[in-house]
Amino acid sequence: MSGALSGIKVLEMGLLIQGPQAAALLSDMGADVIKIELPNIGDQGRYIFLSPEDMRSAVFTACNRGKKSVTIDLRTSGGTEVFKSLVKSADVVISNFTPGTLEEWGLGYDELQKINAGIICASGSTFGPVGPDAQREGADLAGQSAGGLVKTTGRDGDPPSPVGAFIADHIGSLNMVAGILAALHARNSSGLGQQIEVSLLGGQIWAQASEYTHYLMTKKVPGRSNFGHPMIKAAYRIFQTKDGWLGIIGVPPDARDAFFLAIERPDLALDERTQGPIMAPEVLSEFITELEKSFLEKTTLEWCEILKNAGVRYAPVRDYAEVVNDEGVRANGYIRDLVDIDGSLNTVVGSPIKMSRTPLTPGALPPDLGADTDEILKQEGFDKESIERLRKEGAV
């Protein structure tokens, strides 16, 4: 079955994660993604090696599966010639350079839309396309830090701590995909493309919209997570068990009796202070302390069985190894085994979106640097001699 974006051609000049991961999701949706990389160097993500002994890159593999790779030096006249030729038949251009870089090379949206009025140019930056920090370079940690996320994690009194995932880059990539899909829809009626600009900073603020709105309404910072969420004053947090940790995802008033019986604390059900919709801070603190004592009495697996039978919302706190081997994760395709074109089996992160008529199909592996250069250029009308000339000039 064809993907939802079958027939859409994407030119991606992304680096590391923000741009490349957006293009990877479009590829999963069926788009034909051509990754444009600097000759002999490529995307910086290729060089985040697993170890000194293992020169593979998890970052590059995760963000570039299912794409084709063409090497073009966009700073050269020959490279500009090739790129503009590709733009004529393209639908989307993705980049995440420092704002103004493509304009300096004569490849900004204003120039490209003269070649192709329907072209959609999506640009990702760190701090936004304008303002005093627009020209500053950055990466995921800059988005987490400048966007306020780092100060929300951990416990009161502990040093700030970043999230242990490239979350700012990931959210930036999703915002980019959302803008691209909306622009493709708008083009159906107008025939015109447009420019889309997203940033790591803007994505982090949007991701914390509820928490920022709390501050805007109260002028008080919500605070640290403290094993849960600073805005939810209830049993909405993780608890240590005999052998690990367990998340209790809130206990509504109508479920409290069943919860107290399940954890063998009927005495708490008889405490009138716990019966209202909101507990007083001192009561909540005492309540949490009692729950901490109770959850230490059994293993995480034992508690999961008990709470499941009681109809209480819960989730075990798992590491990656446990998640990858989870039956439900596999059943939903969130982790998938795919066969590559050479017949080898590869386990990959699947697509998080399920579509009934146009299912997403993740690629098994990313392309080698420049693997598709000659093929793509021939499709654009460049003959063998022209390609050799461009290669000698360092343009491809």
Q: Which fold has domain 9-207+366-393?
A: Rossmann fold (3.40.50)
Confidence band for 131, pLDDT divided at 50, 70 and 90: very high
Q: How far apart are the first and last CA of the chain?
A: 34
> Active site residue: 28, 169, 267, 326, which one?
169
Q: What pLDDT does 239 receive?
A: 98
**E-strand stretches of the chain:** 9-12, 32-37, 68-71, 92-95, 120-125, 195-199, 236-240, 245-249, 314-316, 335-339, 345-349
Find the mean pLDDT for residues 21-34.
98
Q: What pLDDT does 254 receive?
A: 83
- Both tokens of 243, joined, read 């052998």
Residue spans of the domains in the chain: they are: 9-207+366-393, 236-317
Q: Which residue has the higher pLDDT, 271 or 11?
A: 11
Q: Which of 264-278, 295-309, 331-345 has the highest mean pLDDT?
A: 295-309
Report the share of the chain in percent with pLDDT over 90: 90
Find the mean pLDDT for residues 152-176.
97
- Both tokens of 295, joined, read 């959850």
Task: Label residue 286 exposed, middle or buried (CB < 10 Å: 0-12, 13-18, 19+).
Answer: middle
Specify whether 91 is catalytic: no
Q: What pLDDT does 281 receive?
A: 87
Find the mean pLDDT for residues 11-25.
98
Q: What is the pTM of this model?
A: 0.95
Which own/partner pairs from 296-301 qualify as long-range (CB within 8 Å, at least 24 positions apart)?
Answer: 296/240, 296/241, 296/242, 297/242, 298/241, 298/242, 299/241, 299/242, 299/243, 299/244, 300/241, 300/242, 300/243, 300/244, 300/245, 300/246
CA 295 to chain centre: 33
Chain-wide mean pLDDT for the chain? 96
Between CA 54 and CA 61 the distance in angstroms is: 14
Angle, helices 200-207 vs 209-218, to 10°: value is 70
Q: What pLDDT does 308 receive?
A: 95
Between CA 119 and CA 192 the distance in angstroms is: 7
Q: Which of 110-114, 253-257, 356-360 has the lowest mean pLDDT?
A: 253-257
Tens of pLDDT, residues 159-169:
999 999 999 99
Find the mean pLDDT for residues 105-124.
98
236-240 and 195-199: which strand pairing? unpaired
- Which option is the CATH number for 236-317: 3.30.1540.10, 3.30.9.40, 3.30.420.40, 3.40.190.290? 3.30.1540.10
**Hey, what amino acid is at 51?**
S
- Both tokens of 218, joined, read 């109260």
Find the mean pLDDT for residues 351-355.
96
Q: Which of 319-333, 334-348, 369-383 has the lowest mean pLDDT?
A: 334-348
Confidence band for 148, pLDDT divided at 50, 70 and 90: very high
